[in-house]
Amino acid sequence: MAKKVAIIGAGVSGLASLKCCLDEGLDPTCFEKSDGIGGLWQFREIPKERRTNVYKSVITNTSKEMTSFSDFPFPEGCPNFLHHSVLLEYLRTYAEHFQLLDYIHLKTTVCSIQKHPDFIATGQWVVCTEKDGQRESAIFDAVMICSGRYAEPNLPLDSFPGIKKFKGRYLHSWEYKNETEYEGKRVLVLGAGNTGGDIAAEVSRTAAKVFLSTRSGTWVLSRISDAGWPFDMVFTNRFTNSIRELLPKGIQKRMLTKIFSQWFSHENYGLIPLESSWIPLILNDELPSRILCGSVVVKPNVKEFTETSVIFDNGTIEKDIDAVIFATGYTPSFPFLEETLQSACRNNMSLYKQIFPPHLEKHTLAIIGFIAVTGSIMPAVELQARWVTRVFKGSCKLPATDRLMSEIAKVKEDLRKQGIPSDKDKVRTGFIDYMDNIATCIGAKPNVPLLFLTDPKLAFEVFFGPCTSYQYRLTGPGKWEKARTTILTQWDRALKPLKTRVVHASPKNSSISCWLVVLGLPFLGAALLTFKYLPPSWLPWIK
């Protein structure tokens, strides 16, 4: 008999988990408390309590080829960066194509998930749900939690003295809809993450003035790279990743700083990040021009509020503030779990590979999508789901509990040595490293050296081209026959929506330069290894 799996949430993670369950012959049931699929990508004019809501103008920060599920590419006519409505339609099409809708129970709230009395022997869970006022309980062999990361808006009022006596309006970014309600007003945006940058730039189109307060600063990158290609398609590749891993940390940071500074001087714009071990960055094509035009003014951290004014850490005061928007993120919450499990799952770095609570007697509960990677989260959660469902099925095995705990401790220690607190929501795992790590557990990581021997054309694109999710369908369980063709045509799909005006094609570059790169790789690798492990005495600044 197929194992029964409960899936909590029908957003990106839930849909990927549902599909992977079916691929592995499991019997899934998905519970979604809203009236539709798509999770946070559902836009609502009136936000609902405890429901994360995108604002009207949201565009993805990752391009369609880097965002796509591994066996379901976006239509070639889709723009490279997607409006939330386009992404939601993609998810709906995905659910229909793989016949997932029949397994989803809408308007059903999960009230509790508790261990079955025989959990130590069976690993089963009792899931209590409520729909239309009626409660039901059912027993499942495994549970995949696919919601909760963006459950609770983080509104740190205690960190801002005087905010309670402020007479203007203050709100969290989840309540924000569009810029029209701030016309002619003086607005303060707290937080310079992706959301804070987006809202500051958008509100400045109609507001009298927008002040963007940042505690630590941030790098601002454009979605557009050289020659107009999507930024992530150009820079997220195995070649660049390999070089970065060979270089000492000090050189890595200097190289990234130089790349990030090419667009504009962050120091001149007041955005230069403070010295730290982690590198904050956002994607925003409009914010620098709004700052240059004076519509947005960058300010340091807020010291305190008065009834109508804001006093900043540097002693400057801005008067007659009408509204304050807290772009201060979210706090993860899993209220349906037992208290001991809630504590264990409060921080993703305390989970094995950021998925499995390590202390359970039976590893039949997984949290999908509770990660932050330096790329699109959609391929990452899909790969998580592929591995987890194989673990539930018994095709993949987890190490013993002490090994799980040991690996988690090692990861935290590595972060500590880098000066990155593992208990903070600032840990962004390298996209390629994480994908390869999980793919290795499945047996789906592409063998690049072997590809260079057996299929040089494909190998060249896999190593030097964008690390798209299709690479993890070339081999192993879940192999997709169209993966090779999809990889070789990914640049064509990126170009397709741009070719709306026919022009004469310019001569293409000779392929000789490509082979020069390939032939020069051994020498480059040897040089980098020498620099890493035997730095010359005349380079004392290499650490």
Q: For the segment 274-296, what is each residue's pLDDT rounded down to a tens digit? A: 876 567 899 999 999 999 999 99
Q: For the residues 402-406, what does the mean pLDDT come to? A: 93
CA separation for the pair 288, 318 (Å, rounded): 21
- Burial of residue 137 (number of CB atoms within 10 Å: 0-12, 13-18, 19+): exposed
pLDDT at position 234, please? 95
Q: Is the pLDDT of residue 36 over 50?
A: yes
Supply 525's token pair.
């690798």
CA nearest 236: which of 67, 57, 406?
67
In 286-336, where does DSSP find H-type helix?
Answer: 287-292
β-strands 317-318, 310-312 pairing: antiparallel
Q: Is 403 helix (H, G, I), strand (E, B) or coil?
A: helix
In degrees and rounded to multiples of 5, residue 14 shows phi and psi of -65, -40
Who has greater pLDDT, 175 or 422? 175
* Residue bearing tokens 């929506």: 497
Q: What is the pLDDT of residues 69-112, one digit of tens each?
A: 999 999 999 999 999 999 999 999 999 999 999 999 999 999 99
**Structure-token pair, residue 512:** 């000789």
Whether residue 32 has pLDDT greater than 60: yes
Average confidence (pLDDT) over 229-235: 95
Q: Which has more pLDDT, 333 or 396?
A: 396
Q: Is the pLDDT of residue 540 over 80?
A: no
Q: How distant, in Å, are the alpha carbons of 190, 250, 426, 428, 469 from that of 266?
A: 19, 20, 21, 22, 33
Find all residues with CB under 8 Å of 460, minimum gap 6, and list them. 452, 514, 518
With a cut of 70, say whether residue 452 has pLDDT above it.
yes
Q: Give the pairing of strands 4-8 and 142-145.
A: parallel
In this predicted structure, the answer to whether residue 190 has a pLDDT above a threshold of 60 is: yes
SS3 (DSSP) at 312: strand
pLDDT for 249? 79
The residue that leads in pLDDT, 421 or 425, is 421
Region 404-419: mean pLDDT is 86
Q: In this model, does residue 537 exceed pLDDT 50?
A: no
Tokens of 356: 């499995």
Share of the chain above pLDDT 70, in %: 90
